[in-house]
Chains A and B, each alone.
With several copies, the nearest count.
Chain A
Amino acid sequence: MPDIKDYESLVEIKWCPGCGNFSILAAMKKALCNLGLAPHEVLIISGIGQAAKTPHYLACNLFHGLHGRALPIATGAKIANHNLTIIVNSGDGDCYGEGGNHFINAIRRNIDLTLLVHNNKVYGLTKGQASPTSDLNMVTRAQPHGVMLEPFNPLAVALALGCGFVARGYAGKPDHLASLIEHGVRHRGFSLIDILQPCVSFNHINTYPWYNERVYELERSGHDPSDFNAAWEQARKWGERIPIGLFYREDKPTLTDRLHALRHGPLVDQQYVPERLASLFSSL
């Protein structure tokens, strides 16, 4: 059984003191330990942003790629070796902004990985512009007249796309979050965990106190995660009361379940057989 200490990284953490990312990191470590995974059995893939720095801050295999493109990297890696346990750390800008099209299609592929979106409702690393999830009318230096776009509701969109694991965590409830992550990793298929993450430097609206007043756990409110309609109803709630927890769960075949060539084992482990080319060429 691995220990939290095994997940220690010596890299200096470059987040602001008080940032919600710290508890997400802690929750990840806890979940990984509970899952009995050793660091070398875990692959963490990220885009670019504050959230995307996460894999450097725990022991793991990692690919820290481009802004917005973590999911395609993860998709390629999973197809190449479907034995990999992949977690993706992304930000609201990274995943729902620049990476919006990949978010849609990773869900459509039902590629088996766990997506953690550190949703601070702001572009943190680039100093506080609005993100797709920023509240309407939020004023920033880039949006001096306030945000004019309807906020992106990742849970509702994920449900509309047929996502089989739709959850919301909150950095202020790291144990609850750890358990969601654990379930997400266990779930065979694409698992979305959108995480409410206070950004102490740039988001002065959606703060810890603001969330603390509002969040409630679906697990304690009799919600049935196999009930799609109930999930949809909960997913559309935002404001005075904000639900967190597992909204929806459904088992479906994953992309790697469906791919024919993987029936013989992971692509990376299969053999090159020159005779196959010979028989192909004989038909020319």
Chain B
Amino acid sequence: MSIDITIKIGGEAGQGIQTVGQLLALTCREAGLYVFGINDFESRIRGGHSFFQLRISDQQVRAPHHVVNLLVALDERTVDLHRRQVSPDGMIIVNKKELCDSPNMLAISFDDLAAQAGDPITANTVAAGCVLAILHAPFDLFHQVLTNLFSGKKQSSLDVNLKAGRLGYDAAGDRRCSAALPWSAALQKKPLIEGSQAIAYGALAGDCRFAAFYPMSPATGIMIHLAACQNDFPLIVEQAEDEIAAANMIIGASFAGVRSMTATSGGGFCLMTEAIGLAGITETPCVFINAQRPGPATGLATRTAQADLHMVIRAGQDDFPRFVFAPGSPEQAYAVTSQALSLAEKYQVPAIVLVDQFFNDSLYTLEKAFLIPNTIERFVLDHASINNPAEYKRYVFTDSGISPRALPCQGTALVKYSGNEHLENGHTSEAPEIRTGMVDKRARKLIGMRSEMQGPEPYYADAETLLLCWGSTHGVVREAVKMLRQDGINVGSLHFCDLWPFPEEKVAPLLSGEKRLIVVEQNSTAQFAQLLRQQTGISVHGAVLKYNGRPLYPYEIVNALKEKEYSHA
């Protein structure tokens, strides 16, 4: 990696840390640079401590870095908490002179300069301008970013912000950080996107038309992004009275014919589990996004975890087919969300997508815009094609387990769904042979479903040691593999996105031979290792587990591997 700079902006909630980060990221976008940003904040609205950490590079970056090149401290606490991470040649910008106690520090009063610019609210623009100067960025690029941002707004807003940016830029004087980034206006700007946004857009690409939700961190962002699209798409986003209502609403909407989904976190997901079973037995397609955070109960509301894997696979009483996916990048999240809507409809089952706070609240540069499907293949039976409407049976027994699904009130065939065990026609039945028949019919779908599942994504998969990971840690583990290999350690990785039905046949061959298998997970019990043994009988040799609510860093994996500091799973 030729250039790799990490900027951390810390301060109290409400100080606009994210705005600074956003301005920097947009300027990088202007220059065709890659960024990766993580958001760290407490469960409060004002005060406390939070930070935004932006990594900038001329190559794709998909993991946070633990060494900070430039620390922007909007308060004293930020200095105390983070100065140790600043690299020897790094810099610290503080907003008060009094805080300066070493030569690598630069004091700039963002507030004073903002006032000078004409509006105290522009302090963040001041800060961004200052950082950009230190990063060797030409002011032009920032000028362009601000112009874009305020296009369509009052000219005076733009003017005051340009002034503020300039003041900040100039305030840096000749202080520059060591590494120079290749700043020049890019011909093609690469899209910038948040994890939660990638999911929202994936939903649109999957023709989701109805989303119901109850606010819950870190899932809310997905719905906020979707809600903003209601003017331009055939889409309704409804805030429900609780998660139970949200789950049942999407089932109702799907029954009536539109693709639908919800998003929540663990506690809300718990409340949806009965409805997931309802989707299972009524064979109603729908998508549940579970954005994980540490639990149980309220746990750590604004922190990250990967600890709901087994819960989502087992949610709801009794057995019924479902999909579970855990994407590892915004591209995969976009594709998988769209695919989940489609596969749910094709197999008439619930599909669950597992993400987490780390993924949802991170900022990514995309190599290129997401692919847009030209058409949507619907898996719905047209009433016109029903020969004998009076004989239509919603749950007719088929070899594939999939029964042609007509929509209610779209023709003369009567469409009957039931959450009780039922006959082919949808009426309740307690007959033992019907019960067995219907369980088997539903289970038969698993054959087709399993064939849709991708095996894990290999990366130096023939290495001696394989790191097994799933979900959001994809980029982090890859980077750790790269670092380890640079140090001559023969390691590779497998990233699992398609988790249920577990694609045993595609997994087992990759794990055979004399390999050392180590899972990397953000939970305390190595949940994936348990799943792997359950499904294949294969035991792993170790586990790198982090479960303090904070994102995993590549160096942590590297250290654990080098020091053999991993627990035996």
* Direct A–B contact present (CB less than 8 angstroms): yes
A residues sitting closer than 8 Å to B (CB atoms) are 11, 14-17, 38-43, 45, 48, 50, 53, 55-56, 59-69, 71-81, 83-85, 97-98, 100-102, 104-105, 123-127, 129-130, 132, 141-145, 201-202, 259-262, 264, 267-268, 270-272, 274, 276-282, 284
- Knowing A63-B255, A141-B224, say if A201 contacts B45 (CB, 8 Å): yes
- Docked pose: A186 CA to B414 CA in angstroms: 22
Q: Does B239 contact A (CB under 8 A)?
A: yes
Q: Are A284 and B191 in contact (CB under 8 A)?
A: yes
Does B531 make an interface contact (CB < 8 A)? no
Chain B residues with Cβ under 8 A from A274's Cβ?
A: 372-375
Which residue from chain A places its CB closest to the CB of B232 in the assembled complex?
A276
Chain B residues lying within 8 Å of A126, measured Cβ to Cβ, are 215-217, 220
- B-side contacts of A68, CB under 8 Å: 242
Q: Are A69 and B275 within 8 A (Cβ)?
A: yes
Distance in angstroms from A230 CB to nearest chain B CB is 30
Give bound CA distance, A70 to B364, whole Å. 39
The answer to whether A264 and B210 have CB atoms under 8 Å apart is no
Chain B 218-257 interface mask (CB, 8 Å, partner A; 1/0): 0010011001111111111111111011111111111111
Checking A17, A71, A281 against B191 with a beta-carbon cut-off of 8 angstroms, the contacting residue is: A281
Partner of A75, one of B205, B249, B418: B249
A-B contact pairs, 8 of them (CB 8 A): A67-B267, A72-B245, A73-B251, A81-B256, A144-B231, A260-B230, A268-B257, A279-B232
* A259→B220 CA distance, assembly (Å): 20
The complex places the Cα of A70 from the Cα of B205 at a distance, in Å, of 30
9 new A-B contacts at CB < 8 Å, known A261-B236, A274-B373: A64-B420, A72-B252, A76-B252, A80-B252, A105-B240, A143-B227, A202-B45, A270-B209, A272-B375
Taking a contact as CB atoms under 8 Å apart, the answer to whether A56 and B278 are in contact is: no
**Could you tell me the distance in whole angstroms from the C-beta of A72 to the nearest C-beta in chain B?**
4
Residue of A50, A66, A145, A270 near B419 (CB, 8 A) is A66
B238 contacts which chain A residues (CB < 8 A)? Answer: 75, 79
- A81 and B415 contact, CB distance less than 8 A: no
CB distance B249 to A72 under 8 Å? yes
A123 with B298: CB separation less than 8 A: no
User: Which of B43, B234, B260 has most chain A Cβ within 10 Å?
Assistant: B234
The answer to whether B17 has its CB under 8 Å from any CB of chain A is no
In the docked arrangement, what's the CA distance between A3 and B256, Å? 26
Residues from chain B with a CB closer than 8 A to the CB of A48 are: 298, 301, 419-420
- CB A176 to nearest CB in B, in angstroms, measures 27
CA–CA, A79 to B245, complex, Å? 14
Interfacial chain B residues near A39, Cβ < 8 Å = 414
Q: Closest B residue to A60 by CB, please name it.
A: B414
Nearest B residue to A65 via CB reads B419
Nearest 9 A-B pairs (CB), nearest first? A76-B252, A284-B191, A270-B234, A72-B248, A76-B249, A76-B253, A73-B252, A61-B408, A80-B256
Q: Once the chains bind, are A61 and B409 in contact (CB under 8 Å)?
A: yes
User: Closest A-chain residue to B243, C-beta based?
Assistant: A98
B413 within 8 A of A: yes
Q: A73-B252, A75-B249 are in contact. Are A281 and B369 (CB under 8 A)?
A: yes
Report B429 CB to chain A, min CB distance, Å: 10
Number of B interface residues at 8 Å Cβ cutoff, please give it: 90
Other-chain contact of B417, A63, A125, A202, A268 (Cβ < 8 Å): A63
A67 contact set on B, CB distance < 8 A: 267, 298
**B220: which A residues are within 8 A, CB to CB?**
126-127, 129, 142
Chain B residues near A76 (CB-CB < 8 A): 210, 212, 248-256, 260
Residue of A nearest to B192 (CB): A284
A97 CA to B246 CA, complexed, in Å: 12
Which residues of B sit under 8 angstroms from A145, Cβ to Cβ? 230
Decide yes or no: A280 and B229 within 8 Å by CB, A40-B409, A129-B220, A274-B374 being known contacts. yes
Contact yes or no, B249 A123, CB < 8 A: no
Q: Which of B396-453 contact A (CB under 8 A)?
A: 407-409, 411-420, 426-428
With beta carbons under 8 angstroms apart, the residue of A84, A141, A271 that contacts B256 is A84
Closest A residue, CB atoms, query B376: A272
- A69 in contact with B248 (CB, 8 Å): yes
Q: Which residues of B contact A202 (CB under 8 A)?
A: 45
Question: Is B252 in contact with A75, judged by CB distance below 8 angstroms?
Answer: yes
Residue among B214, B370, B408 facing the most chain A CB atoms (10 A cut-off): B408
Evaluate contact between B427 and A56: CB separation under 8 angstroms: yes
Q: Is B138 engaged at the interface, CB distance under 8 Å to the other chain? A: no
| Residue numbers in A under 8 Å from B274 (CB-CB) | 66
Contacts of B229 in A (CB 8 A): 280
Shortest distance between the CB of A17 and any CB in chain B (Å): 6
Q: How far is the CB of B276 from chain A (nearest CB, A)?
A: 11
CB <8 Å contact, A261 and B235: yes
Contacts of A62 in B (CB 8 A): 414-418, 426
Judged by a CB distance under 8 angstroms, whether B564 is at the interface is no
Given contacts A69-B275, A125-B43, A268-B256, contact A142 B223 (CB under 8 A): yes
Chain B minimum-CB-distance residue to A265 = B234
* Contacting residues, chain B, for A129 (C-beta < 8 A): 215, 220, 239
- Contact assessment for A64 and B428 in the assembled complex, using a CB-CB cutoff below 8 Å: yes
> Which one of A141, A262, A280 contacts B227 once the chains associate, using CB atoms below 8 Å?
A141
Bound: A64/B374 CA distance, A: 36
Given A72-B249, A141-B224, A145-B230, A280 and B414 touching (CB < 8 A)? no
B414 contacts A17, C-beta separation under 8 Å: no
A64 to B229, CA, bound (A): 32
CA–CA, A102 and B240, complex, Å: 9
Cα distance, A147 to B535, chains bound together (Å): 47
Q: Are A144 and B227 in contact (CB under 8 A)?
A: yes
Q: Decide yes or no whether B126 CB sits under 8 A from chain A.
A: no
* CB neighbours of B191 from chain A (8 A): 281, 284
> Do the beta carbons of A14 and B48 come within 8 Å of each other?
yes
